[in-house]
């Protein structure tokens, strides 16, 4: 039986599934099968990026599924090398061609570096023209997000940031709520780091609800109306990750999970000058 996934309403009225499927770090030769399995399991939000270099495989899976386009929510992202008003529009066209689609549901600026102002102006045009139903950003910390909101006409619909039980992003979440921006989590399972699957708090809560640690972490996100995009190449894990809408975490559960927050990224420090310089030099075949 297909799970009915709740939706959130973005600041422009577009409906977005609360739980989706991400393909970050899924090898290109495994992506089509993984997305086909995810769609079969019931996922309707698929998240990719030009920098993941697997958009074509995502597109093939969508085409093979036979699912009507209006039942899907497809996200991809613009990489740093293609920022700037003109280059961003060309990069959008290339992503759309690789995906085999005539429009996107959500287009994101992937990193808060380089000429993201020029990229945002291009994305505003694409949104006005109906080529992407919503536009947003990824990896924007509160200062950068507030700056973009203050000086542009269209407020981002989404900010997709690393968010999980060990990096809870409470300040970010509050700022997004104040501006009507949807919080979306990448890395919702902490990429298995910091002893995630053996954490005694999470395992204890999981036992109490007869659920897995992954299901507890995902429930913690969706219970706060934070969109999550877990990834897996195993169909049984895909189904497990969807099975989080038949129970509720208690106030005590939520308080215990709140104590797990380290306030630090498990992946990349966007405030580290050396890391920022390195990221700005990364090039992909976009």
* Mean pLDDT score, 191-202: 90
- For 118-147, the pLDDT digits (tens) are 999 999 999 999 999 999 999 999 999 999
Share above pLDDT 70 across residues of the chain, in percent, rounded to a whole number? 99
Task: Give the residue among 23, 80, 82 at the shortest CA–CA distance from 53.
Answer: 23
Residue 193: predicted pLDDT: 80
> Given a cut of 80, is residue 19 above it in pLDDT?
yes
Distance between CA 101 and CA 90 in Å, rounded? 15
In the three-class reduction of DSSP (H, G, I as helix; E, B as strand; rest coil), residue 228 is classed as: strand
The answer to whether residue 126 is domain-embedded is yes
Report the mean per-residue pLDDT for the chain: 96
Neighbours of 258 (CB within 10 A): 12
Which residues are tagged catalytic?
Answer: 52
Query: In this predicted structure, what is the pLDDT of residue 151?
Result: 96
- pLDDT classification of 1: cutoffs 50, 70, 90: low
Does some domain include residue 1?
A: no
Write out the E strands in the chain: 7-9, 15-17, 21-22, 45-47, 73-78, 106-109, 135-138, 158-162, 182-186, 227-228
Greatest pairwise CA separation for the chain in angstroms = 54
pLDDT of 3 over the 80 cut: no
- Answer whether 218's CB lies under 8 Å from 228's CB: yes
Name residues whose C-beta falls within 8 Å of residue 273's C-beta, 6 or more positions apart in sequence: none
Residue 187 lies in a domain: yes
Tell me, yes or no, whether 197 lies in a domain.
Answer: yes
The rounded distance, in Å, linking the Cα atoms of 169 and 153 is: 26
Does residue 62 form part of some domain?
Answer: yes
pLDDT confidence band for 191 (50 / 70 / 90): confident
Is residue 260, in this structure, part of any structural domain at all?
yes
Mean pLDDT for 14-29 is 96
Q: Span 96-108, mean pLDDT?
A: 98
Buried b (16+ CB within 10 A) or exposed e, 186-215: bbbbbbeebebeebeebeebbeebebbbbb
Q: What is the pLDDT of residue 122?
A: 98
Residues of the chain with pLDDT > 90: what percent? 94
pLDDT per position as a tens digit, 215-260: 999 999 999 999 999 999 999 999 999 999 999 999 999 999 999 9
CATH number, domain with residue 162: 3.20.20.100
Q: Is residue 181 part of a domain?
A: yes
Q: Residue 130 belongs to what domain range?
A: 15-280
pLDDT in tens, 198-221: 999 999 999 999 999 999 999 999
Task: Please tell me the predicted confidence (pLDDT) of residue 194.
Answer: 80
Q: What is the pLDDT of residue 183?
A: 98
Higher pLDDT, 241 or 191: 241
Domain assignment present for 285: no
- In the chain, how many domains are there? 1
Please name the residue that has the structure tokens 């409470």: 170
């Amino acid at each position: 039986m297909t799970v009915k996934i709740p939706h959130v309403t973005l600041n422009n009225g577009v409906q977005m599934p609360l739980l989706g499927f991400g393909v970050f770090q899924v090898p290109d030769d495994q992506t089509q099968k993984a997305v086909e399995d995810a769609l079969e399991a019931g996922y309707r939000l698929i998240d990719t990026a030009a920098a993941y270099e697997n958009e074509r495989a995502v597109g093939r899976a969508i085409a093979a599924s036979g699912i009507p386009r209006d039942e899907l929510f497809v996200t991809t992202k613009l990489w740093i090398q293609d920022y700037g008003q003109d280059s961003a529009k060309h990069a959008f066209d290339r992503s759309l061609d690789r995906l085999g689609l005539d429009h996107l549901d959500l287009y994101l600026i992937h990193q808060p570096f380089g000429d993201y102002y020029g990229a945002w102006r291009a994305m505003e045009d694409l949104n006005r023209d109906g080529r992407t139903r919503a536009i947003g950003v990824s990896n924007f910390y509160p200062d950068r997000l507030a700056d973009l909101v203050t000086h542009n006409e269209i407020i981002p619909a989404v900010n997709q940031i690393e968010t999980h039980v060990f990096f809870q992003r409470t300040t970010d979440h509050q700022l997004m709520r104040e501006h009507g921006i949807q919080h979306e989590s990448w890395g919702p399972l902490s990429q298995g780091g910091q002893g995630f699957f053996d954490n005694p708090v999470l395992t204890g809560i999981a036992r109490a609800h007869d659920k897995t640690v992954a299901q507890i972490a995902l429930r913690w996100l969706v219970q706060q109306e934070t969109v999550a995009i877990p990834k897996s190449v195993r169909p049984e894990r895909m189904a497990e990750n969807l099975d989080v809408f038949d129970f509720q975490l208690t106030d005590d559960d939520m308080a215990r999970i709140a104590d797990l927050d380290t306030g630090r990224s498990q992946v990349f420090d966007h405030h580290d000058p050396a890391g920022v310089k390195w990221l700005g030099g990364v090039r992909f075949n976009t």
